[in-house]
Amino acid sequence: MEKLILLTNDDGIASPGLHALRAALAPLGRVSVVAPDRNRSAIARGITIHSSLTVEEVRLEDGATAYATDGTPVDCVRLAVLGLLGEVPDVIVSGANLGLNLGDDVTYSGTVAAALEGVLLGWPAIAVSQEALGGGGGPEADYDFRPVAAFVARLVPLLVRERFPRHVLLNVNAPGRPAGRAQGARVTRLGRRIYHDKLELEAHEGARRRYRIYGDGHSHHREEGTDLAAVDDGFISVTPLHFDLTDLDGMDAVERWEIGGLLREEAAELAP
- Nearer to Mn ion by C-beta: 8 or 97? 97
Question: CB under 5 A: which stretch of 40-48, 68-76, 116-124, 230-238 binds Mn ion?
Answer: 40-48
Which 3 state secondary structure label does DSSP give 211? Answer: strand
Residue 10 touches Mn ion, criterion: CB under 5 A = yes
Binding mask 70-109 for Mn ion (x = CB under 5 A): ---------------------------x------------
Instruction: Classify each residue of 31-60 as buried b or exposed e, where b means 16 or more C-beta atoms within 10 Å of its C-beta.
Output: bbbbbbbebbbebbbbeeeeeeeebeeeee
- Between CA 102 and CA 158 the distance in angstroms is 23
- Nearer to Mn ion by C-beta: 97 or 239? 97
- Select from 41, 101, 171, 239 the one that contacts Mn ion (CB under 5 A): 41
Closest-by-Cβ residue to Mn ion is 41
CB of 111 to Mn ion, least distance (A): 6
- Nearer to Mn ion by C-beta: 88 or 141? 141
Q: How many helices (H) and strands (E) does the chain have?
A: 7, 13
CB of 56 to Mn ion, least distance (A): 20
Residue 131 touches Mn ion, criterion: CB under 5 A = no
**Contact at 8 Å (CB) between 49 and 35?**
no
Q: Is 105 exposed, middle or buried (0-12, 13-18, 19+ CB in 10 A)?
A: buried
Question: Which residues would be at the binding site for Mn ion (CB under 5 A)?
Answer: 10-11, 41, 97
